[in-house]
Amino acid sequence: MKPHSHSVQIRNVSKRYGSLEVLRQVSLDVEANTVTCILGPSGSGKSTLLRAINHLISIDSGVIRVSDEVIGYEQRDNRLFELSDRDLCRQRSHIGMVFQSFNLFPHLTVLENVTCGLITVRRAPKADAIATAQHFLDRVGLAHKAGAYPAQLSGGQQQRVAIARALAMQPRLILFDEPTSALDPELVGEVLTVIRELAESSDTTMIVVTHEIGFAREVADQIVFMDEGRVAVAGSVAEVFGSDSPRIRAFLDGNLK
């Protein structure tokens, strides 16, 4: 049986780069098996928050829990210490991430890109890894590209491979960091369709940083609007799209990028 999906609890998280406060006392709850879309103007801290959830960046204060487990740190003698690489790797192996720039290995085929984590991290037998990879490549409509190299694919196809690679690890939480921002406009739709189908059919918790407002409106159980390092509002689609805050209205009307 597949393990239950993860909930995420973020409490009073702050992060600064020099004098720039990028996250200011951010608190947020994400329920298991829901889709949360994070919207907000450029530079409001969306990607930073997402990357903090799997400890790709360290935070200055606050705490992030994924299914009640503190991410990135452990408490000893009443002090917090960063986890060892090994423990961090264990935590991350249950959290999938899809990056803006795909991050496929260029020297590996599509199939090898997807089996790689299964074989090295999950220690799956090769035949099982190949069967799993083929299943998820089929799910993103790319079974026929298994033998191709990333450079032979369009950006949209590469991103779908990256999604299959994340899914193949059967994560209980998937983080999408602006998954369509690097794509030519005509390729955005195919990737959003794959993510939308996942949102409808999978029992994985999903957090998606996106500039695609229409997509967020369609798929999100929760919408988070970030502004200047804070969560300005988190709520249902109706709550956020019905907000009368001038900043949120300006953003939704396309006058605040």
Q: Which residue ranges make up the site for ligand ATP (CB under 6 A)?
A: 17, 20, 22, 40, 42-48
Measured from the CB atom, the residue of 57 and 119 that comes closer to ligand ATP is 57
DSSP state of 83: P
Measured from the CB atom, the residue of 43 and 62 that comes closer to ligand ATP is 43
DSSP state of 148: S
User: CB of 170: closest distance to ligand ATP in angstroms?
Assistant: 27
Measured from the CB atom, the residue of 106 and 254 that comes closer to ligand ATP is 254
User: CB of 95: closest distance to ligand ATP in angstroms?
Assistant: 18
Instruction: Taking the CA atoms of 216, 38, 202 and 192 in sequence, report the sign of the dihedral they define.
Output: positive
User: CB of 178: closest distance to ligand ATP in angstroms?
Assistant: 6
User: CB of 175: closest distance to ligand ATP in angstroms?
Assistant: 12
* Secondary-structure percent of the chain, ordered helix, strand, coil, rounded to 5: 40, 25, 35
- Are 5 and 172 in contact by the 8 Å Cβ rule? The answer is yes
Task: Of 56, 37, 50, give the one whose Cα is nearest residue 10.
Answer: 50
Distance between CA atoms of 170 and 2, rounded to whole angstroms?
8
Measured from the CB atom, the residue of 47 and 243 that comes closer to ligand ATP is 47
